Amino acid sequence: MFFGPFWTWSCAILLTSSLTCAVSVAVAASSEPVNVVVTIPVLKDLAEQVGGPYIRVTSLLKGYENEHTYSPKPSDLIAVRKARLLFEVGLGLEVWVATLVKNAGSASLMTITTSKGIGVIRDDQEPVAAHHSPGHEQGNPHVWMDPENAATMLRHITDALIEVDPDHAHQFRQNQAAYLVRLDRIRAELSERVRRLPDRRFVAHHPAWPYFARRFGFEIAGTIQAQSGSEPSAIHIQQLIGTIKKQRIRAVVSEIQLSQKLPELLAKETGVRIVVLTTLPGGLPQTETYLDMLRYNVLQLANALEAA
């Protein structure tokens, strides 16, 4: 059977179109953003600063949720199952992550502990080398409250993104370098603001603030809850009231993620000023990014100490 030139020409067009479509689909697939899951909003912001349009980030916690008492939802399991990378803080902060990852059953998922290599603070305020065995004996996990530690976390995030998406390594490194400049600038700005304060002491609601205080020059005069989720004894509260009165402490730093019952009790008994801050971006208005959160926390506390 003879099909003629027209048939040959038509087949060539169809073949070319098919190849073009196949190439287009392949290119589209290769340019899809990398799915990333993070445990807390701090890591979401840091990842997005580096990854830009090349990643799609889901944070399991919102800014107003408590990272210590969080319980994963069914939607979290789905998000982890679809992800290529999962960023956690580590140091016993997210005790629920291991089970979540196991239940997701994704063989291609990489879990990155961003606190690796950071010198952590014990409850007794003594710096120790970071390590990653299970349990709170690892030290205080709120390392991101110090921008110097956030810079280390950012480097772990950058390295992981380059590993899974080497085609955009140059952009990731550029974004990292630009953000580190911004981070250093705001650290210097806020440190200068605190330096002018004659009194930098405060009582903390729970132990989320040692890294923050050490970096910016504040002093923690006492803590209401020694551990998150634990209720202080009546004796401890009375001792705090005595400390606040005797030392004339001007502020109690609480957090939007916690109940305000105990700080309000101290305020009623002593007249101390309550400053409600946030340890997570998005917990309060004007704290949508990590840098916004740092600025808000430092300025609100500094202004409260001056006003008191």
pLDDT digits (tens, 9 = 90+) for 214-265: 999 999 999 999 876 678 999 999 999 999 999 999 999 999 999 999 999 9
pLDDT at 132 over 50: no
Q: How far apart are CA 78 and CA 38, in angstroms?
A: 13
pLDDT at 196 over 80: yes
Is the Cβ–Cβ distance between 49 and 281 less than 8 Å?
A: no
pLDDT at 231: 87
Nearest alpha carbon to residue 282 among 272, 290, 273, 270: 290
pLDDT at 283 over 60: yes
Averaged over 39-53, what is the pLDDT? 98
Averaged over 256-283, what is the pLDDT? 96
Determine the straight-line distance between the first and last CA of the chain, rounded to whole angstroms. 99
For the chain, what is the mean pLDDT? Answer: 88
Q: How far apart are CA 39 and CA 30, in angstroms?
A: 26
Q: Which residue has the tokens 């390590």?
A: 131
Averaged over 70-88, what is the pLDDT? 95
pLDDT at 31 over 90: no
Six token digits for residue 98 = 């291991």
pLDDT digits (tens, 9 = 90+) for 286-306: 999 999 999 999 999 999 999
Q: How far apart are CA 36 and CA 48, in angstroms?
A: 10
Q: Which residue has the tokens 């002593």?
A: 270
Sorting pLDDT into bands at 50, 70 and 90, what band is 19?
very low
- What's the CATH fold of domain 193-307? Rossmann fold (3.40.50)
pLDDT at 69: 83
pLDDT at 144 over 50: yes
- 233 DSSP β-pair partners: none
pLDDT at 230: 77
Percent of the chain surpassing pLDDT 70: 85
Q: In this predicted model, which residue has the larger pLDDT, 188 or 22?
A: 188
CATH code of domain 33-188: 3.40.50.1980
* Fold agreement (33-188, 193-307): yes
Q: How far apart are CA 23 and CA 140, in angstroms?
A: 51
Q: How far apart are CA 91 and CA 94, in angstroms?
A: 8
Q: How far apart are CA 32 and CA 300, in angstroms?
A: 41
The pTM for the full model equals 0.85
Sorting pLDDT into bands at 50, 70 and 90, what band is 122?
confident
pLDDT at 180 over 50: yes
pLDDT at 114: 98
Sorted by where each begins, the domain ranges of the chain are 33-188, 193-307
pLDDT at 6 over 50: no
Averaged over 118-136, what is the pLDDT? 56
